[in-house]
Structure 1
Amino acid sequence: MQRTFYACKKKNIHSIVLAVAGDAMLALGGIMRACVIKSAGHIAIEQWPETPLRKDEVRLDFAWGGICGSDLHYYQHGRVANSIVREPMILGHEFSGIVCEAGDDVTGLSIGQPVVVNPSRPCNTCDQCGSGLTHLCRSMRYMGSAAHQPHTNGGFSERPVVLASQCRVLPKGFDLAVASLCEPFAVALHAVALGEIPPGATVLVTGAGTIGSLVAVAARNAGAGRLIVTDIAEPALTRIAKVTGAETFQVGSAELSAEAEAVIGEVDVTLECAGSANALDMAIRLTRPRGKIVQVGFLPPAAPLSLAGLLTREISLLGAYRFLEEFDLAVEQITNNAVDLSSFITGRYSMGQVEEAFVAAADRSRNVKVLLHFDT
Structure 2
Amino acid sequence: MDACVVRGAGDMRVEEREAVGPAAGQVAVRIAYGGICGTDLHYFHDGGVGNFRVQEPLVLGHEVVGRVSGGELPAGTPVGIHPATPCGECAECRQDRRNICAFSNYLGSAARMPHIQGGFVQELILPADQVRVLPDGLELRRAVLAEPLSVAIHAVRQAGHGAVDGKRVLVTGAGPIGLLVVAVLRQEGASDVIATDLQQYPLKLAREVGATRTIQVGESEWPDEIDIAIEASGTAGGLWTCLERVRRGGTVVQVGSLPPGDTGFPGALLMTRELTLTGAFRFDHEFDTAIAWLAGGLPVDPIVTHTFPLAEALTAFNLASDRTVASKVLLEISADTPS
TM-score range, shorter chain: over 0.9
Residue among 57, 60, 71 paired with 2:29: 60
Where 1:236 maps in the other structure, the secondary structure is: helix
- C-alpha separation between the residues in 2 aligned to 1:113 and 1:131? 33
User: Corresponding residue for 1:370?
Assistant: 329
User: Corresponding residue for 1:187?
Assistant: 151
The yes-or-no answer on 1:317 pairing with 2:277 is: yes
- C-alpha separation between the residues in 1 aligned to 2:102 and 2:333? 34
User: Corresponding residue for 1:354?
Assistant: 313
Structure 2 vs 1, CA of residues 125 and 51 (structure 1 numbering), >3 Å: closer, same or farther? Answer: farther
- C-alpha separation between the residues in 1 aligned to 2:243 and 2:137? 45
User: Corresponding residue for 1:175?
Assistant: 139
Cα offset, 1:307, TM superposition: 1.8
Cα offset, 1:171, TM superposition: 3.1
Cα offset, 1:203, TM superposition: 0.4
- C-alpha separation between the residues in 1 aligned to 2:264 and 2:326? 29
Q: Structure 1 segments of 4 or more deviating over 4 A? A: none
Aligned ranges 1:13-32 → 2 under 5 Å: 32=1
- Paired-residue identity, %: 39
Where 2:209 maps in the other structure, the secondary structure is: helix
* Cα pair 2:122 2:334 within 8 Å, conserved: no
- C-alpha separation between the residues in 2 aligned to 1:81 and 1:147? 10
User: Corresponding residue for 1:264?
Assistant: 223
User: Corresponding residue for 1:22?
Assistant: none
- C-alpha separation between the residues in 2 aligned to 1:374 and 1:275? 29
User: Corresponding residue for 2:241?
Assistant: 282
Give structure 2 stretches of 5+ with no counterpart. none
Q: Cα deviations across residues 343-368 of structure 1 (Å, max 9, x unaligned)?
A: 11101001111110000111101111
* Cα pair 2:171 2:181 within 8 Å, conserved: yes
Cα offset, 1:225, TM superposition: 1.1
Letter in 2 for 1:331: I
Q: Cα deviations across residues 199-233 of structure 1 (Å, max 9, x unaligned)?
A: 21110000000000000110111111111110001
The yes-or-no answer on 1:84 pairing with 2:48 is: no
- C-alpha separation between the residues in 2 aligned to 1:245 and 1:282? 18
Q: Cα deviations across residues 272-326 of structure 1 (Å, max 9, x unaligned)?
A: 0011111111111111111100000011233332221101101000000011211
Instruction: Tell me the number of residue pairs that the alignment of Structure 1 and Structure 2 aligns.
Output: 332
User: Corresponding residue for 2:289?
Assistant: 329
- C-alpha separation between the residues in 1 aligned to 2:22 and 2:211? 47
User: Corresponding residue for 1:39?
Assistant: 8
- C-alpha separation between the residues in 2 aligned to 1:167 and 1:291? 38
Residue among 217, 230, 241 paired with 1:251: 217
- C-alpha separation between the residues in 2 aligned to 1:165 and 1:51? 19
User: Corresponding residue for 2:84?
Assistant: 120
Where 2:247 maps in the other structure, the secondary structure is: strand
Letter in 2 for 1:302: D
- C-alpha separation between the residues in 1 aligned to 2:284 and 2:275? 25
TM score, norm. by length of structure 2: 0.95
Cα offset, 1:173, TM superposition: 4.9
Aligned ranges 1:105-254 → 2 under 5 Å: 106=72, 109-196=73-160, 197-252=163-218
- C-alpha separation between the residues in 1 aligned to 2:256 and 2:148? 12
Structure 2 vs 1, CA of residues 53 and 195 (structure 1 numbering), >3 Å: closer, same or farther? Answer: same
* Cα pair 1:281 1:307 within 8 Å, conserved: no
Letter in 2 for 1:359: N
* Cα pair 2:164 2:185 within 8 Å, conserved: no
Cα offset, 1:246, TM superposition: 1.9
Give structure 1 stretches of 5+ with no counterpart. 1-31
Worse overlay, 196-205 or 147-156: 196-205
Worse overlay, 167-176 or 287-296: 167-176
- C-alpha separation between the residues in 1 aligned to 2:25 and 2:334? 29
Structure of larger gyration radius: 1
- C-alpha separation between the residues in 1 aligned to 2:214 and 2:76? 44
- C-alpha separation between the residues in 1 aligned to 2:211 and 2:99? 32
* Cα pair 2:98 2:284 within 8 Å, conserved: yes
Letter in 1 for 2:86: P
Structure 2 vs 1, CA of residues 292 and 83 (structure 1 numbering), >3 Å: closer, same or farther? Answer: same
Where relative contact order (Cα < 8 A, 6+ residues apart) is larger, the structure is: 2
- C-alpha separation between the residues in 2 aligned to 1:326 and 1:100? 26
Worse overlay, 206-215 or 47-56: 47-56
Cα RMSD, aligned residues only: 1.3
Where 1:237 maps in the other structure, the secondary structure is: helix
Q: Cα deviations across residues 323-343 of structure 1 (Å, max 9, x unaligned)?
A: 121100000110122x02221
Where 1:60 maps in the other structure, the secondary structure is: strand
Cα offset, 1:266, TM superposition: 2.5
Cα offset, 1:245, TM superposition: 4.0
